[in-house]
Amino acid sequence: MNYFYLRVFAVSAAAAVAFSCQEPENTTTEPLATPEVSAVVNDNDRTVTISWAEVPNATTYSWYIDSNSARTTDQTSVTVSTSDLTDGEHTAYVIANPALDAADQYSASQPGSYTFTVTVLPEPQRLETPEVTANQDGNGAIVISWSSSNAASYTYSFDSGEWTNTTDASVTYQVADLTIGSHTMQVVALPEEGSTEYLESLPGECTFYIEEPLVEPNEDLQPWVGTYDVSCTHRIVVYVNDNSEIVFGIEEVGAAMTGITIRPSSRADYLRISGLSGLEEYSFWAALFESEDGKQCLGIVTGDMAIAQDSQGNDMVCAPICRNEEDGAVAIFSGTEYAYLIDPETMTSIPRELVSSSNVRHTVLSADIFSFDGNSVGIYYSGFPVYIPAGDFKFTRTSTSYAAQDSKVMTVVKAAPTSMSSTVTK
């Protein structure tokens, strides 16, 4: 026979109560309030400012636009560029975040949102750089003028002085008030205030040089002073060919006419001749030379006597333009005192031949202003084609006086020359 024993244990009421009160911990947190979001778009500045009301118990905010990555800030607004956003509607989202030490009480909010519209404006274009020019008016003043398309106004600085705003397109200075030496005007074109279409231009500038006051020429030069009509049989044509090369050519013109002025200079033993250069604002030096038959003739001075200096300090000098009698090519000649002479009796140019170091004959056709660097010629023409009187000249006096001149003479300072890879004939 098998026997079984039943054991009974007594449990107190207090112990039963304590056991029944051991419940799980509370893990529920309260989400922060959803931010109220707004946005203001500034199409002119290409920005959007996203703002929201401060959320109680939030210490940071995560924000993003559309589906882009979220960023975090402790502020209640951000301003960001719209440059990367397309034209049309976009939505900004903001989430409020609790402090780390309050994570057991609060959780992140639901995202608040605001939809805004971006209007993509075209990129503003810079106004064209003003073209600045300086000219004497013949009455003792220099007029500096400028122009730029679509400009509403301008600001200018003379000789690195203060910038002055103006709606005018020129300003006038009295020559007598300017010092001897170089002067520079800088001009910037300005758009309409608030324009989203244009930006201010880069500065345009013009530099000119005030020479020493004019002096009375020596007695033997005074009869040459005056104005003349000049006829010539040919003209030099300077142009750019299909290979972007600068080319000098010669063509007959019959009896083309041009007006010139022979006037005093800053030196008693020299005159100035204006109207014969392809650079209209410049004039040649002229002096007396003895011809082969013993006459005292007026000659166009060439060689090392600088007419002006360019902005890089290169001497700009006059040089003969010649025709090579072997192949007919037009060449620029250096190493001679004058280009051609004017006979005081016939008032015609005296034909002249030059012989190069390689014994090739060259006939002088004309002259103009260049700079030289070894076997390269620097030219200063700003537009093509350029026409230069050439061939046989006939001078007909129209007046024994000349247009009123200032006591000091202005010449425009050219920028660095265009280098022409051409052998200089010597």
User: What domains can you pick out in the chain, each with its CATH number?
Assistant: 29-118 (2.60.40.10), 125-213 (2.60.40.10), 222-420 (no CATH)
* Highest mean pLDDT (candidates 34-48, 153-167, 310-324): 153-167
Nearest by Cα to 195 from 119, 121, 118? 121
Q: What's the average model confidence in pLDDT over 395-410?
A: 76
pLDDT given for residue 340 in this prediction: 97
pLDDT given for residue 408 in this prediction: 67
pLDDT given for residue 375 in this prediction: 79
pLDDT given for residue 24 in this prediction: 52
pLDDT given for residue 365 in this prediction: 96
44 pLDDT higher than 90: no
20 pLDDT higher than 70: no
Question: Average per-residue pLDDT in the chain?
Answer: 88
Q: Which DSSP state fits 85?
A: S
pLDDT given for residue 26 in this prediction: 53
pLDDT given for residue 419 in this prediction: 66
Percent of the chain with pLDDT over 90: 68
Q: Are 95 and 109 in contact, with CB atoms under 8 Å apart?
A: yes
pLDDT given for residue 15 in this prediction: 39
Of the pLDDT bands very low, low, confident and very high (cuts 50, 70, 90), residue 14 is very low
Of the pLDDT bands very low, low, confident and very high (cuts 50, 70, 90), residue 27 is low
Q: Are 309 and 301 in contact, with CB atoms under 8 Å apart?
A: no
How far is Cα 333 from Cα 319, in angstroms, rounded to an integer? Answer: 6
Of the pLDDT bands very low, low, confident and very high (cuts 50, 70, 90), residue 276 is very high
Q: What's the average model confidence in pLDDT over 25-49?
A: 88
Of the pLDDT bands very low, low, confident and very high (cuts 50, 70, 90), residue 123 is confident
DSSP 118-144: E--PPPPEEPPPPEEEEEE-SSSEEEE
Structure tokens at 203: 């500065």
How far is Cα 385 from Cα 383, in angstroms, rounded to an integer? Answer: 6
Of the pLDDT bands very low, low, confident and very high (cuts 50, 70, 90), residue 21 is very low
Structure tokens at 81: 């560029």
3 pLDDT higher than 80: no
Nearest by Cα to 134 from 202, 189, 209, 201? 209
Q: What's the average model confidence in pLDDT over 258-279?
A: 94
Q: Which residues, in sequence order, are CB contacts of 77 under 8 Å at separation 6+?
A: 49, 50, 51, 52
Q: What's the average model confidence in pLDDT over 234-250?
A: 93
Q: What's the average model confidence in pLDDT over 235-254?
A: 92
11 pLDDT higher than 50: no
Of 52-66, 245-259, 315-329, give the lowest mean pLDDT range: 245-259
Side-chain half-sphere of 311: how many Cα atoms within 13 Å? 14
Structure tokens at 426: 């010597």
Q: What's the average model confidence in pLDDT over 96-119?
A: 93
411 pLDDT higher than 90: no
Q: What's the average model confidence in pLDDT over 17-26?
A: 47
Nearest by Cα to 250 from 328, 134, 189? 328
- Kindly report the CA angle at 305 between 301 and 308, in degrees rounded to 5? 110
Residue length, the chain? 426
13 pLDDT higher than 80: no
359 pLDDT higher than 90: yes
pLDDT given for residue 415 in this prediction: 75
54 or 7: which carries more pLDDT confidence?
54
pLDDT given for residue 6 in this prediction: 39
Q: Which DSSP state fits 359?
A: -
What confidence tens digit (pLDDT) does each residue in 158-202 have? 999 999 999 999 999 998 899 988 899 999 999 999 888 899 999
pLDDT given for residue 103 in this prediction: 84
Of 6-15, 111-120, 134-143, 338-347, give the lowest mean pLDDT range: 6-15
- In this structure, which amino acid lies at residue 296? Q
What confidence tens digit (pLDDT) does each residue in 191-236 have? 999 888 899 999 999 999 888 888 999 999 999 999 999 999 999 9
Of the pLDDT bands very low, low, confident and very high (cuts 50, 70, 90), residue 404 is low
pLDDT given for residue 7 in this prediction: 43
pLDDT given for residue 424 in this prediction: 56
